[in-house]
Structure formats: C-alpha cells, structure tokens
Chains A and B, each alone.
Chain A
Amino acid sequence: DAMVIQNPRYQVTQFGKPVTLSCSQTLNHNVMYWYQQKSSQAPKLLFHYYDKDFNNEADTPDNFQSRRPNTSFCFLDIRSPGLGDAAMYLCATSREMGQGAREQYFGPGTRLTVT
C-alpha cells in the first residue's frame, strides 16, 4: 500500500542535543510538509517542500531545519531542542499544489520528548 512512513515513532532527546526525524513516502507526491502538534491543539505547519523548493512558514523558529534529498525522503532537524519543542511531529504529502490536489496524506507521527 502506498503510504507515508515516519521513523522513529517515539524519540527521546536531551535538552540542546540535535535530533533528526525522518519521513518517507511511496506515493510519489511532489509536496512534503512538516507539522508540529502539541497536545489538544491543531497541527501547525512548520514548512513544506514543493519538489526541491523549500518554503518556510514565517513563524517557524530558526532552530527547525529541513532537508529533502530526493522525492521520497524528507528530514526534520531540530538543532537545539528545548523543552517547549516536545510535541508530535507530523509529516504529510500532497500530489501537487493548487486546484485539484489539496488533500494531504499524513504519516503516523513521531512523538518527541525532550528531557
């Protein structure tokens, strides 16, 4: 089945220790997104890639970076995690941008704990 895969499902890191979350997709979609979701809140978009073009949301902290080495993979790097970065991180994809391709398909998420 075509899908969005996130590894690991649970990640524990220490305060200030860099951490990388990974996402892969077998849908061959052009667009990949990273969201942060804190408990009982709506998912918040951090950034997205349209093919190789990176688009950062204006309020995404500099501490968060992303890489997309190829169509299938996308990484979220948190350079110096703080306690406030503990959250569920969701990866999503969509086939294209714009009309007729608005649906986004989500992975299961990675729950990040910062100690």
Chain B
Amino acid sequence: DQQVKQNSPSLSVQEGRISILNCDYTNSMFDYFLWYKKYPAEGPTFLISISSIKDKNEDGRFTVFLNKSAKHLSLHIVPSQPGDSAVYFCAASGAAGNKLTFGGGTRVLVKP
C-alpha cells in the first residue's frame, strides 16, 4: 500500500532547463509535504516543504506546487545545474505527528 508515489523513476534534463518532478499521494490526512535530495553514500538532505494550507512555496531555484484536490505535488528546479544530479524523494506527514512517508524516489541527471 504505497501512500506516496513517484511514478517517474528517472529524469534527464539539459543544464539550464527546468526539471519537474512529480509526486502523488492517496492519504487525505497528509497535511505537510517535503522534498529531499540524496547523493550516493549520503543521507537525504532537506530541500523544501509545503503545508496543505498553501499551494506554492518557493526557495531560490526550487518551487513546490501542491494541488490538494488532485492529491498531487511537484517540484520545479529552475535553472537545473549539474550539481542537481541526485535522487529526489518526496515525503508526506499527517497532523498526528512527524512520521514521514516517503515516495520511491526519482533519479535526476542534469547534462552539461
């Protein structure tokens, strides 16, 4: 029972272009969403988050969009840089506590 899904296992994008990563969830009790970036042999690094009371949050090159009615969120990276090549996980938590439910990850490759 995957409550958080990232349907694209990989994404390849040219340097300078936009990377769009997608995430779908099924549990309507989730009210906080996060994106993490993970390099090989390192732990996930927190990138950006969004509360369910918002539909957009922006931090530098990273923007997260939330569509509650569709139970869908996306992460936009503009412009993409080679250092952005990593695995990106979306995660969700509910009001009951901090437990994070992770998606399966999307591997991003930014080509110079």
Contacts and interface: CB of A to CB of B under 8 A. Distances in A.
B97 A97 contact: yes
Interface residues of A, number: 27
A104 B43 contact: no
Contacts of B95: 98-99
Contact of A107 (B43, B97, B98): B43
Given A41-B104, A42-B89, A42-B103, A98 B45 contact: no
The prevalent SS among residues of B at the interface is loop
Interface in A67-104: 90-92, 94, 97-99, 101-104
The prevalent SS among residues of A at the interface is loop
Best-surrounded residue of B4, B32, B45 (most CB of chain A within 10 A): B32
Given A42-B89, A45-B100, A90 B105 contact: no
Interface residues of B, number: 22
19 contacts: A31-B98, A42-B104, A42-B105, A43-B44, A45-B100, A90-B44, A92-B43, A98-B98, A99-B95, A101-B98, A102-B98, A103-B46, A104-B34, A104-B46, A106-B36, A106-B45, A107-B43, A109-B42, A111-B41
